[in-house]
Every structure is written in C-alpha cells, then in structure tokens.
Amino acid sequence: MGRVFFTDLRRARLQRTYAQEFKDLYYFYLDEETRSKLNKMGRLRRAFVLLGWLFKSLLTKLSPGRRVALLVACIFTVLGKTGFGIDALGFNLNHDLRPWGFVILLIVLMLELKDKLVAKDEIQIARQVQVMLFPRSHPKLPGWSVWSISRPANDVGGDLIDYIELDGFRHAVVLGDVAGKGLGAALLSAQLQATLRALAIHAASLDDLAARVNETMLRDGMSNRFATLFYAELQHDSGSVRFVNAGHNPALAVHKNRIDRLGASSLPLGMFEDSEYEEVSLHLDPGDVLLIYSDGVTEAENIDSAEFGIERLEALAPQLRNLDPEAAGHLILSEIDRFLDGLRPADDLSMVIVRRNDA
C-alpha cells in the first residue's frame, strides 16, 4: 500500500513537472497576441496550429546554419527510405535516411547545449557578483528587527534588497523590482542600487530622492526597462517610518487590530520624465510589522494558473505580530511552497520584514 502511494506521488510530481515545462515553452515561444489567437480556436485546431507555431518560433530563434540543418533533419525523418542515388559520386542514397536525420538533429542539439553551457558559466559569474551586492547580514537597529530574503526565478534576478545607513539615527530599507528577469534585469538592478546609495544620504526628502533616481534611470538606463521601488526610512528607537512607493506592490502594515495596504502613490522609476513622487509617513507601535514584498510573492501561480494573491498574504498577517521577522518570513515562504506544490516559481520572489520591537 505504501509503495503504491509513493509511486502515485512520484507520478503526480512528474506530471506537474512536465506540465510546468510545457507551460514554460508556451510562454517563451509564443507572444501574447499569438496566445490570444490560440484561445479563440477549437481544441483540435488549436493543437495542430500550436505545434506549427511552436516549430516556426523555434526556427526563428536558431542561427541560419542550424535552421537549415534542423529542416534537413526533419525532411530526412519524414522521407524515410528513398529510391534515388548519386552514382557519379559513388554515394548511394537508396537507404533509410532517418538515422542521418537523427544524427543531424543530435549535432544541432549539441551545438545549442554548448552555447547554453558557455552562457551559464557567464551567468554564474554574474550571480556571484549579484550575491556580493546583496546585504550579507541583517542590520541591528535600535528599536527594530529586520529580516529579508530573495529567491531569483533564474540564476540571476531583477529584485533588489538593500539596507542604507543614513546617519546615526536613521536607516533605509529598500526593495526594488526591475521589469523582466535574467541578466538584463540584474544589471539594471545593480544600477538602481548604486544610484540609491549615491543619492540617499544627501536627499532633502524622499519625493526628491525618487525624482532624482527616476531622472538617472531615464538618462542612463536601458530602453523599455523600468523598476518599481518601495523605499522606507526607519527612525531609531521610534515607531516613525517615512516611505515612498514608486509603482510597487502595496506593502502591508500589520497593526494590532487592522492591516493597512500601503499602495503606490506614483509611477515606477524610469518610465516617464517629470514623474512626481509622494513621501508618506507611518507610525508603528511595538509589535507592529511592516511587510514589503515583490510581485513574485502574490503572483506565484500553481498548476491551475491560480495566483497566491494578496488575500492569502493578508490572511497570514495577524500571525506575523507574534513572530520575529525571520520566523514570519519562513511562515510565508512555507505557505507559498505549499501553494505551488513543487512547481518552480515563474518570477523572482523577495521580502523585507520589519518589526517594531516591544518596549
């Protein structure tokens, strides 16, 4: 009985893995417009058209030489045995071509794998650099407890977590989310971190800080890339918090008898010139918690394409006041992992949890 149960469990996990892999292919090779057209088709027609479009998209992503080789491999596989030859060259094609198709396909796959492994080595170096840029420890602030975590969806991610010591009385906690994933997002995340560190100490106000960061990203950033940002300043030995939310997910301020959503008051950074930003004040009593998170938390999808959602996060929030930030973070992560049920997250997942220490 136990062996049957574990066999069924392994089979179910394998099926979920294959489903996730096919979903990744679906979203990687087909753009939003193509997916919309497919959804309007009948099931049988959609199956045939989907295979054709996937193959077409695959060809367009290969180099010209490998594209021709893949087409030749497909032709050889379809033709099978032939009845013609090139006797003048002493080479007879009157045999089964399918093994040759397999060999050509294998060579194309080996070349693609070689490129991937070379790129992976470079990305591993980028990952090491990104890890060095992340905080190596959580700051010990008078009157506060702070904890954070970041889980990139790929080897490198576009989420940013940072702590900035402003003076002897204030500390900034930062969570940013660059649009997209991978190496491009990671590079822009590093630029955002450097810009914040250079400007934060001398900023007259948080709205001025956000405006100057926006100006820098528009001038020096990559086209069609933007970043959301939640930047909060904690006053030592006080419940006073100042923050600016530039297009980021609403942070949750967990009080004793209520939960406040601290929504965005302005647009993301790097989108438009002359964007205006608003500094907001907040007071946390002893035991209150500030939960800052990236969209990888609330938009984590299970096998049924259902999102974890802010409602599930808010349902956990009352328990957070009774826990230290690290325990609170692991509680949230365990609920997300249970919701995903073994699936790999599709987006970077990051959290910063701040708790006002008991008096």
Interval 267-286 mean pLDDT: 92
Alpha-carbon torsion, ordered 107, 112, 114, 116, to 10 deg? -160
Structural domains of the chain ordered from first start: 2-127 (no CATH), 137-356 (3.60.40.10)
Longest dimension (CA), the chain: 95
Residue 338: pLDDT over 70: yes
Residue 323 neighbours by CB under 8 Å, 6+ apart? 331
Q: Give which of 247, 257, 233, 262 is closest to 354, Cα–Cα.
A: 233
Interstrand relation of 251-254 and 349-356 (parallel, antiparallel or unpaired): unpaired
The pTM score is 0.73
Say if residues 282 and 253 touch (Cβ distance below 8 Å): yes
Say if residues 230 and 174 touch (Cβ distance below 8 Å): yes
pLDDT digits (tens, 9 = 90+) for 210-265: 999 999 988 876 667 789 999 999 999 999 999 999 999 999 999 999 999 999 88
Q: Give which of 158, 163, 132 is closest to 147, Cα–Cα.
A: 163
pLDDT digits (tens, 9 = 90+) for 83-137: 544 444 444 555 677 888 888 888 888 888 787 777 776 666 666 666 666 777 8
